Structure 1
Amino acid sequence: MDALWLALAFLLGLLARQLGLPALVGYLVAGFALNALGQQSSGLLDQVAHAGVLLLLFSVGLKLKLQSLIRPDVWGGGGLHLILSAMVLCLLLWGVTALSFSQGLVLAVTLGFSSTVLAAKVLEEKVELRAFHGRLAIGILIIQDLAALALMTLAGGVLPTPWALLVLGLPLLRPLIGKVLDWTGHDELLVLYGLALALVVGGLGFEQVGLSSELGALLLGAVLSGHSRAVELSRSLWALKEVLLVGFFLQIGLLGWPSIGSVGGAILLTALLPLKAILFFIILIRFRLRARTAFLTALALASYSEFALIVAKFMVGNGQLGPDWLVVLALTVALSFVVAAPLNHYAHDLYERLETWLARFERPERHPDEQPVSLGKTQILILGMGHTGTAAYDFLKKRQNTPEVHKVRLVSGIDSDLVKVERHIHEGRRVVYADAEDPGFWHRLHLDRLKAVILAMPDPEAKRIATEQLRQHGFQGLIGAISSYPEEEKALKAAGADMTFLAFNEVGVGLAEHVWEALEKRAPAPAKSTLG
């Protein structure tokens, strides 16, 4: 039967992708289809799903800055939303169901949580975990996870043991954990070390002291965030994590085939998702965030959390809830994924269409991280300062100093990752923090001095949006972009790019050029003829 599960997950995931939806929507549908065929979740699937979630959260932790959790917009926005949403949902559940006030309150609080798995997955797919709205969303989710742990304790769950205090010493182990990472090399030992940290130390270790294994995996990743090899570790685990996560989405669908009443209850709760997102938007706007940041963060958090299923299982086991509630909540969580996943996939396009209306709600004061960007006398702008963007920047700076260049062309870079920006500034590069996918960024940017723009972001959609924004705002200069696939190259040219370069082709050409030049230098001078 495992072969049937894999085949159905692949086929429906592929169908969802062809329809322009995230593949995870297909996996959820596959779970419900398998349940309709009489299949049930197994112990193996549960373990696979749990491992996938832990690896995902470990990867998120690798890209997290713990300092971001102490910001008022994170703990204030997350806490205020949880309180207000719990009040509204509690009154609704108390009024339309037979639940007691205390039962309704516990369920209302859990429904106020958003899915960490879904948010992290969609943000990672769009390479936005380190963008401002991505960091904000993950920070709020961590606050919710801590509240969830407290809720389980108050509801009579497993109490943390006194050994849980040892977790406070994790930062002291950072040098040792980082040193072992340096020793692992670049092969299978690196993957095994990541698995050991995420599943054994973070997962099993935290469970043994009465804490959440999910929180443990995330914190173990956060301990290594900022390490020079954190990105390499994350990439080495990527494929394994993606495969294991399929089990999680199958598991959600396999929880139970709903009755008509269960479907009605789930649809009613799913219909409240827009209110959840609107409340997030309003609260974040009050914290001086721009409309775009508040909108993208609200969409990332517009789902119900898998934690609701954990609480429901606990309450059903104690006789506080009927078994039907578990099916209702399973379907509710699944439907929220089906709704939220495509919305997040098209989040930037949605904001572009709603920008004029949403911008009216902005406060006149600006958040410190969202001040207007000044590029000064920049003539060549590089969007995306990863490996490709950095190489392009360094090449252009070096070329400025050669005698054959008659006009100095000032170069600047832009990136939406504050960690990268700080590192580049420390290394002497002129890089500013901004998000090129933000239509408001282009409205505030003066293009008069710019002669050329290089698109080096990893996300194809981000490059397409940036190209369209440049042309829509009257930029007549040169736009060059790096692409990974021929279809991406066509899309960029259709959007207005002057030249595109397939990454792997250019790597091959560059390597061959260097080898050719090295051979030319080594070639012996031709021998002089002895003929008279």
Structure 2
Amino acid sequence: MVFEVFAVTAAFVCGLAVRPLGLPPLVGFLAAGFLINAFGPRLGMPETTGPILEHLADLGVLLLLFTVGLKLKLRQIAEPHVVGSALAHFTLSVAVFTPIAWLFFADDWTVALLVGIALAFSSTVLAAKMLEAKRELANFHGRSAIGILIVQDIIAIVVLAIFSGKVPEPWALLVFATPLLRPVLHRILDLAGRDEVLVITGMALSLVFGGVGFEVIGLKGEIGALVMGLLLSNHPRAQELSDSLWALKEVFLVGFFLSIGMSGLPDWDALVFAVLLGLMLPLKGVGFFFLLIAFRLRARSAFLTALSLTAYSEFGLIVAAGIPMAEPFLVPLAIAVSISFVVAAPLNRAAHPLFERYATRLQPFQRATRHPDEQPSDLGDADVLVFGMGRTGSAAYEALAEEGWRPVGLDADTYKAKTHAEAGRRVIFADAEDSNFWSGVRLDGIRAAVLAMDDIEAKLISARTLRARGFEGPIVAHALYEDDVAKITEAGADETHYTMREAGRSLARNASEALRPAMHA
């Protein structure tokens, strides 16, 4: 228990230390793992993770993949740009990395091939965590990135089955019957309520039904957790379930990042190999960019998707750890993964400004054809824009329509926009953070704008761009946090409502109206 306390303390200190540098806490957790590995034995600590941290790491990954699945749609995995770019990039990556691995570590081409395969994957944990932090999992580029990662994970399972010497049991075919579980799972979620039972329901579905259940039939528990989330993604309470697991998942993931850092210290050859792979990291992103361009994505979507995938994968470590002949290369792979996290995390945080900076150089590469992520230029006879068609935006849209206005909803989630359109609402796919949308859209008839998206950066960009385009109508926004009210107002909003305060005032008004008859009685 002393070791676990020491590890958590190191994670706390390093997590705080990287914040002033603009790095995400996970970089600090990785650093804490390496520091524990380097100096822990001198303090009487073990050189490897203890069983408690190992369990926390496993739980964190399963919960993360479960919550990722909750935000996905099965049909997105079958899209041509997802499957095509995933398979093509995997093939090209193996062809590039295998000879390099052979030169450094092995006279055996089979071992070099396994190392090349491990390096061909991109990090599911980092991509999902960064996209989730920016509230972009549901955006077109977020869904594309996660879809590609799912295809890669499926490839990893096949590789493990071939090289580990363990042939999946015939029971593994039951995975094709999992859609039959959807009605049962939906009913379980209906009965879960909204208290701590909802949290334990999410844990049971991800860890027991998904994790342990899939391992029983000979498949990876990580895929099981993801599948359980996918089966529940269409449930009305999927987002609520995801939110209820958020804090728990974050705590458990600390153990995962610590375990990567503690996987070992490199010798000189391993360090040189890892640094070389770090220098080659841009090739991974460039490859994804041009492949996605070839599948007709616009330059912006291709760039943001590719940047999300520009990191070596922790799943590659799982593949290496699960194949005996590749285990000696686990430490250099862990160092390479860690370096890629340190490089990729800040780049992903600055993804949108980076594209705006290099847009004139990147846009000429996109194909002159209709793109699957095309955005509108004509808003028809709409007179009010509603950005973000979640619960708040949908309520604003309905209220405006009832008062005789002609609102149009804009949302960066293609599936959400389509669902609203099928329900008879004027909602179209558009990303408020996309300069192409703003440069092409006509605002002639727009008299007011409502900013109802959750992401603060999207609100700031929308308010500033509307004003820069000469829009003089009222801009009304809501803020999830009190600190954001001043920022949004400074960006150009006429009114910014702190959501929780306005909810309280609305309740008070309703209570006051209900009391009036009694006061006059």
Shift of 1:309: 1.5
Per mean C-alpha deviation after superposition, the further-off stretch among 74-83 and 439-448 is: 439-448
Shift of 1:495: 2.4
Counterpart in 1 of 2:14?
A: 12
Counterpart in 2 of 1:341?
A: 345
Over aligned residue pairs, what C-alpha RMSD do you find? 1.7
* 8 A Cα contact 2:130 2:349, kept in partner: yes
Shift of 1:321: 4.8
The letter for the 2-side match of 1:242 is: E
Shift of 1:371: 4.5
The letter for the 2-side match of 1:428 is: G
Counterpart in 2 of 1:492?
A: 488
Q: Of 147, 157, 172, which aligns to 1:149?
A: 157
Shift of 1:8: 2.5
How many Å separate the matches in 2 of 1:465 and 1:448?
A: 20
The letter for the 1-side match of 2:14 is: L
1:237-386 residue pairs with structure 2 within 5 A? 237-315=245-323, 318=324, 320-321=325-326, 323=328, 325-386=329-390
Q: Of 23, 26, 36, which aligns to 1:24?
A: 26
SS at match of 1:304: coil
Shift of 1:467: 2.1
The letter for the 2-side match of 1:234 is: S
Per mean C-alpha deviation after superposition, the further-off stretch among 498-507 and 470-479 is: 470-479
How many Å separate the matches in 2 of 1:490 and 1:271?
A: 41
Q: Of 427, 430, 434, which aligns to 2:430?
A: 434
Shift of 1:131: 0.7
Residue-by-residue CA offset, 1:335-383 (whole Å, 9 max, x unaligned): 1111111111111111111111111111001223324343112221011
SS at match of 2:152: helix
Say yes or no: does 1:470 pair with 2:470. Answer: no
The letter for the 1-side match of 2:283 is: L
Say yes or no: does 1:69 pair with 2:65. Answer: no
The letter for the 2-side match of 1:379 is: D
How many Å separate the matches in 1 of 2:192 and 2:355?
A: 44
SS at match of 1:462: helix
Residue-by-residue CA offset, 1:94-152 (whole Å, 9 max, x unaligned): 34544422222221122110011111111111111111111111111111011111111
How many Å separate the matches in 2 of 1:54 and 1:335?
A: 23
1:137-286 residue pairs with structure 2 within 5 A? 137-286=145-294
After superposition, the Cα gap between the structure-2 partners of 1:32 and 1:224, relative to the gap in structure 1 and judged at 3 Å, is same
The letter for the 1-side match of 2:29 is: Y
* 8 A Cα contact 1:81 1:280, kept in partner: yes
SS at match of 2:373: helix
1:364-443 residue pairs with structure 2 within 5 A? 364-400=368-404, 409-443=405-439
SS at match of 2:245: helix
Q: Of 510, 513, 527, which aligns to 2:509?
A: 513
The letter for the 1-side match of 2:182 is: R
Counterpart in 1 of 2:39?
A: 37
How many Å separate the matches in 1 of 2:349 and 2:416?
A: 25
Counterpart in 2 of 1:528?
A: none
Q: Of 436, 443, 446, which aligns to 1:450?
A: 446
Give unpaired runs (5+ residues) of structure 1.
Answer: 401-408, 526-532
How many Å separate the matches in 1 of 2:347 and 2:321?
A: 29
Q: Of 128, 131, 139, which aligns to 2:136?
A: 128
Counterpart in 2 of 1:501?
A: 497
After superposition, the Cα gap between the structure-2 partners of 1:434 and 1:524, relative to the gap in structure 1 and judged at 3 Å, is same
Counterpart in 2 of 1:403?
A: none
Per mean C-alpha deviation after superposition, the further-off stretch among 64-73 and 272-281 is: 64-73
Shift of 1:67: 0.9
Give unpaired runs (5+ residues) of structure 2.
Answer: none
Tell me the percent identity: 50
How many Å separate the matches in 1 of 2:267 and 2:474?
A: 59
* 8 A Cα contact 2:320 2:327, kept in partner: no
Counterpart in 2 of 1:529?
A: none
* 8 A Cα contact 1:93 1:99, kept in partner: no
- Please give the TM-score of this superposition, normalised by the length of structure 1: 0.93
SS at match of 1:374: coil
How many Å separate the matches in 1 of 2:311 and 2:70?
A: 24
* 8 A Cα contact 1:30 1:250, kept in partner: yes
SS at match of 1:227: coil
Q: Of 72, 87, 97, which aligns to 1:89?
A: 97
Shift of 1:175: 0.7
SS at match of 2:345: helix
Shift of 1:53: 0.4
Number of positions where the alignment pairs a residue of Structure 1 with one of Structure 2 = 513
After superposition, the Cα gap between the structure-2 partners of 1:117 and 1:136, relative to the gap in structure 1 and judged at 3 Å, is same
After superposition, the Cα gap between the structure-2 partners of 1:424 and 1:155, relative to the gap in structure 1 and judged at 3 Å, is same
* 8 A Cα contact 1:373 1:434, kept in partner: no
Shift of 1:219: 0.4
Runs of 4+ more than 4 Å apart? none
